[in-house]
Amino acid sequence: MGRKFKLTIDGTIYHANMVENPLVEKMAAMCPFEADYQRYTEHEYYTRLPQKANHKGCELTQMAYRNQIFYFQGWNAFTILFGDCNTAPFDVVHLGDLVEDVIPQLKDAGATVRVLCEIDD
């Protein structure tokens, strides 16, 4: 089983079951980190990781789903989704799945949310 992360979004705690891949391990080494996440359209919030990462060795997809976490190498972005989307022509890496439903909080949140990302192993 992969790592577990804890995301505190504007004071509310969420847990994520992360997939096993080299990128998740690189992110775990960056934890804890806190950042303002920017809203992007009607499906996600994202921030740049504190250090440059790389998706080499990870499975890529163009289908991203709500209550999941993704990485986009083009922006070095760690992304939390509250809506489904097709990222074509860009490829993303699925990093993990949130245990709790983040949709009620994020669908009505403003332009930014504050997120603390920690390891929860």
Q: Give the tens place of pLDDT for each residue, 15-64.
A: 999 999 999 999 999 999 999 999 999 999 999 999 999 999 999 999 99
Give the mean pLDDT of 67-91.
97
Average pLDDT over residues 105-121: 95
Instruction: Give the range of the structural domain holding residue 101, as residue numbers without chain letter.
Output: 4-119
Mean pLDDT of the chain: 96
Phi, psi of 22 (to 5 degrees): -60, -30
Given a cut of 70, whether residue 1 has pLDDT beyond it is no
- Whichever domain contains 15, its CATH number is 2.40.100.20
pLDDT at site 2: 82
* Structure confidence at residue 44 (pLDDT): 97
Give me the percent of the chain exceeding a pLDDT of 70.
99
Residue 109's Cβ-count burial label (10 Å; 0-12, 13-18, 19+) is middle
pLDDT at 121: 73
- Tokens representing 1? 């089983």
Question: Residue 84 pLDDT more than 90?
Answer: yes
pTM score of the predicted model: 0.95
Q: How far apart are CA 1 and CA 27, in angstroms?
A: 17
Q: Looking at the 3D structure of the chain, how many domains does it have?
A: 1
